[in-house]
Amino acid sequence: MKGTGRVIRSAGLFFLAMTLVCGLLYTLASTGIAQLFFKDKANGSVIEVGGKTYGSALLGQQFEDDSHMWGRIMKIDTGTFTDEEGNPVMWAAPSNLTPASEEYAELIRERVEKLRASNPEQGEQAVPVDLVTVSGSGLDPHISPAAAEYQVARIAANTDYSEDEIRRIIDRYTEGRFLGIFGEPRVNVLKVNLALDGILQEE
């Protein structure tokens, strides 16, 4: 019985130690490191200019007017969940439709037609796939450089910017591959649009 008691006490001390290490010390250490070395990302990469918040660089926003760059398709739902006060909660997710389904094929066809109608300068040029598909999160803030370039002529025709000026803005907010080898170059749509609106200025 004494041996059993020692085992129980040892197990209790072990679980207590692991709770302190994993539940408290690890959390404090990871939070501290994030705040020290990655403060912007740890705090949500919020874009704030002149005391006004315009969103997060990590979350997409919907733009569908001709004077702004369009991002990826967003599947947003505000009618399913509510908070404690009964206010609608927005969430997003992929469509989960199989690429082999007729419904998916019809969605893609409609999206392609809409993009071609809004970007007539591109004619029958292939529409970049990321402009007609939903990302895994449903809130992807980035598009490919090809998808950004597809929209340059339309934006120039509806703003006071030349195509070259728009390309310079796109280049400013294009992120390269992680460590130069992982992932693909990507353009932050919100930052480009805030620059087009004169909110983000060239540093």
Pairwise CA distance, residues 92 & 196, whole Å: 26
Contact 189, 62 (CB under 8 A): no
pLDDT for res 29: 67
- State the CB neighbour count (10 A cutoff) for residue 94: 13
3-state SS assignment for residue 201: coil
- The confidence score (pLDDT) of residue 52 equals 79
**79 membership: H or E segment, kind and range:** strand 76-82
Query: Distance between CA atoms of 111 and 105, rounded to whole angstroms?
Result: 10
Beta bridge partners of 89: 81
- Amino acid symbol at 86: G
pLDDT along the chain (203 residues), means of 10: 66 77 72 55 66 78 91 77 75 72 89 93 92 83 95 95 96 86 89 92 67
Q: How many whole angstroms separate alpha carbon 133 and alpha carbon 112?
A: 10
CA distance 67 to 35: 37
Tokens representing residue 12 in the block: 């209790």
pLDDT score recorded for residue 97: 75
Q: Which residues contact 19 (CB under 8 A, 6 or more apart)?
A: none
**What are the angstrom distances between the C-alpha of 68 and each of 16, 58, 81, 161?**
55, 18, 30, 11
Residue 70: name the closest of 197, 164, 155, 174 by CA.
155
pLDDT tens for 66-85 read: 999 999 988 776 667 677 88
Rounded CA separation 190/199 (Å)? 11
Q: What is the pLDDT of residue 202?
A: 67
Phi and psi based region of residue 135 (left: phi greater than 0; alpha: psi -120 to 50; beta: remaining): beta
